[in-house]
Amino acid sequence: MRTRQFFRIALTAVTLTALAATASMAQAATSRIVHLDPASGQQPENITLEPDGSADLTFGWSGEIGRVTPGGHVEIIGRIPIPSDGDIPVVHRKLFLGGIVRAVGGDLYVAVSTGTAVATGIYRLRPGGGAVRVAALPADGFLNGMALDPVTGELYVADSFKSTVWRVSLYTGHVTAWATGPLLAPQDGFGANGLKIHRGAVWVSNMGKQQLIRIPIGLTGAAGTGEVVASNLGPIDDFAFHGDSVVAAVNQENRVAVIDGSGIHTFLTSTDGLDNPTSVAVRGDTMYVTDAAYFTGNDPNLLTTSLG
């Protein structure tokens, strides 16, 4: 109850009247959509932002990392080879690119699943260089959302199949099963999905259970007791924070929802251009939303809008 109380008090303290508005108000705020090419495998799964406002995207099934400039130009900046013997459990695809994060110096880290021991793990992509695996993770998992702790230099990775949040040291490559248990377990295919670090805790969405979970980071770095802080969210994918409010991609329902102290509010819908949204990034009052069109195949895109 203490975690839930903290969550509600903190969110209520944030002035986000515009976010609690109706979807029709959100339509007026939609500023730009960059349409991507599904025929080339440009179905964006996750996003991280560059200092100049460019967006770096993982294209889930193609093995490519793309960069979309503020002017809307799409460039492929990296590729992860697709293994011929790849076979990811449950989905039975050869490769999946999940979370992507940017370190302070410009290195990008990407979560890669292949169903093989020699290729599944975390890859580093340096500016002007190729992708190199820096940490191995279990082949029978499905690596999804990811966040970097700027204080410790450790990555936290959600595993959608293994009911686990992995912690990976970027200095040593050491991997720890940081948090496990039923809160992270799959239901109807997928469990732990999106992941962010916020106010001394790891926050994880469980897509199958339609929940948002908070797991405190203890003084020694160990995982505290996790708690569900929001339920009945729909098939929530990745998410981001704007202040202490959460903006979340609700994939199959074609919604971006806001979760704050007053409840759950729909902010964007398919009428704004959403097509199976997968992840959200926020810088200032600008929100970026990736749409993978996994289920429709219609219009994968990158949408930007104002939260202010």
Q: Is residue 263 part of a domain?
A: no
Distance between CA 159 and CA 156 in Å, rounded? 10
Tens digit of pLDDT for each residue in 244-255?
A: 999 999 999 999
pLDDT surpassing 70 at residue 6:
no
pTM summary value: 0.91
**What average pLDDT does this structure show over 80-97?**
96
Q: Helix H segments across the chain?
A: 2-12, 23-29
Q: Is residue 37 part of a domain?
A: no
Tens digit of pLDDT for each residue in 164-184?
A: 999 999 989 999 999 999 999
168: DSSP letter: E
186: DSSP letter: -
Reported as a pLDDT band with limits 50, 70 and 90, residue 302 is very high
Distance between CA 104 and CA 146 in Å, rounded? 16
Tokens at 114, concatenated: 């292949």
Number of domains in the chain: 1
β-pairing, 255-260 with 74-79? unpaired
pLDDT surpassing 60 at residue 207:
yes
Tokens at 190, concatenated: 């997928």
Q: What is the residue-wise DSSP string for 76-122?
A: EEEE----TT---TTT--S-EEEEEEE-TTS-EEEEEE-SSTTT-EE
Q: Is residue 230 part of a domain?
A: yes
Q: How many alpha carbons fall within 13 Å on the CB side of residue 232? A: 3
Dihedral, CA of residue 230, residue 234, residue 239 and residue 242, to nearest 10 = -60
Q: Is residue 264 part of a domain?
A: no
pLDDT surpassing 60 at residue 16:
no
Reported as a pLDDT band with limits 50, 70 and 90, residue 28 is very low
Q: Is residue 308 part of a domain?
A: no
Q: Is residue 104 part of a domain?
A: yes
Tokens at 208, concatenated: 């199958």
Tokens at 94, concatenated: 């050869």
Decide: 287 and 247 in contact? Cβ < 8 Å: yes
- How buried is residue 304: exposed, middle or buried, by Cβ count under 10 Å (0-12/13-18/19+)? buried
- Bridge partners of 33, per DSSP, are 303
As a residue count, the chain comes to 308
pLDDT surpassing 70 at residue 160:
yes
CATH number at residue 119: 2.120.10.30
Give the distance, in angstroms, between the CA of residue 270 and the centroid of all CA atoms in the same chain.
20
Distance between CA 257 and CA 234 in Å, rounded? 10
Q: Is residue 148 part of a domain?
A: yes
Q: Which domain holds residue 97?
A: 43-256+269-291
* Element spanning 146, H or E: strand 143-149
The sheet carrying 201-206 orders its strands as: 192-198, 201-206, 211-216, 227-230
Q: What are phi and psi of 99, to 5 degrees?
A: -65, 155
Q: Is residue 94 part of a domain?
A: yes
Tokens at 204, concatenated: 């994880």
Please state, as a whole number, how many other Cβ atoms lie within 10 Å of the Cβ of residue 34.
18
β-pairing, 121-125 with 131-136? antiparallel
* Among 116, 146, 120, 149, residue whose Cα is nearest residue 134: 120
Tens digit of pLDDT for each residue in 221-270?
A: 999 999 999 999 999 999 999 999 999 999 999 999 999 999 999 999 99
